[in-house]
Amino acid sequence: MRFSIYQDSLCGARSNNQDRMGYCFTRDSLLMVVADGMGGHLHGEVAAHLALQAAAACFQADARPLLADPPAFLDRALRHAHHEILRHQALHELPEAPRTTIVACVVQQDRAWWAHAGDSRLYWLRGTRVAARTRDHSKVQSLIDLGQIDEAEADAHPERNKVLNCLGSPFEPTVDIGGDVELAPGDTLLLCTDGVWSALPENALVALLSADSVLASVPCVVRAAVDEAGAMADNATALAMTWGDASVAGGALLSSDDVPDGAITTTIAVGQLDAGSPADVLGEDEIERTIREIREAISRTGNH
């Protein structure tokens, strides 16, 4: 596999960043995940952190080096993340479980599959066209589906931030599976939180992302979302991957050919889940340092 990938996150106008993002890959399979901890619930950043850990742990166990059944893996990984969050609640005797939305994507053998719970989104871009995107589990999307409002009314709807599905709720989440699409060289997959897509019209989001390589365009997308939302800016997080060799992907290229058999390259800390208290998850300084280290590692990556 050969691809360019980049991730970025800004706190926006919020006091802390509850978004989490990361990816991992073997020689033959790639997993990308973005989670948006829900600020209206206790320790939303913990839920997002645990969700990434759980998904990456499942990938480490199952990708040998291919996933036998990517859709089944995605469903199992997201449900495992949900149950890990509930276990965290019980372990720490919390009055309620922390909650998070999530979107994840697997790429292998030139094909992509994705899954989500909540309103974190995936966009599949071919050139400047959105070939597909996930449908939010939200009150506004339900009203659109029922024909009670149209897309133009959604942005200003008073309940546009009401999410109807997530990990960590008392109920088993709905995990929507999508994809099984063949990627062409130059196709880009974007995973992002609502702090990105809700602040930028889709045409502006696509224009920014397709204007340059993901290494340059992802930071532009995140910054534009925060600037556009101003004093109301939410945490804004985006992870994007362009498929193909350097001639179509642009920027620094990663090659899974260099990954040894049985090994995994990852930006997600995979260890013992829930080893300590909520304070033990990555703080703001650690998050910023991790982002810098990832950027530096990618910038040092040559073409293979």
For the chain, the structural domain boundaries read: 2-134+164-300
* CATH class, 2-134+164-300 region: alpha beta
* Per-residue pLDDT at 223: 98
pLDDT one-digit tens code per residue, 19-69? 999 999 999 999 999 999 997 556 899 999 999 999 999 999 999 999 999
- Which residue is it, tokens 């094909």? 111
- Mean pLDDT score, 133-147: 82
- Mean pLDDT score, 96-107: 97
Q: Are 189 and 123 in contact, with CB atoms under 8 Å apart? A: yes
Q: Which of 257, 221, 260 is nearest to 239 (CA)?
A: 221
pLDDT-derived band of residue 282, with 50, 70 and 90 as boundaries? very low
The mean of the pLDDT values for the chain is 87
Q: Are 9 and 287 in contact, with CB atoms under 8 Å apart? A: yes
* Per-residue pLDDT at 48: 97
pLDDT one-digit tens code per residue, 73-100? 999 999 999 999 999 999 999 999 999 9
CA–CA separation, 103 vs 121, rounded Å? 6
Cis-peptide into 158, omega within 30 deg: no
Residue 279 has pLDDT above 70, yes or no: no
Lowest mean pLDDT among 206-215, 250-259, 290-299: 290-299
pLDDT-derived band of residue 251, with 50, 70 and 90 as boundaries? low
* Per-residue pLDDT at 141: 75
- Mean pLDDT score, 168-177: 96
* Per-residue pLDDT at 100: 97
Q: Which of 202, 205, 242 is nearest to 224 (CA)?
A: 205
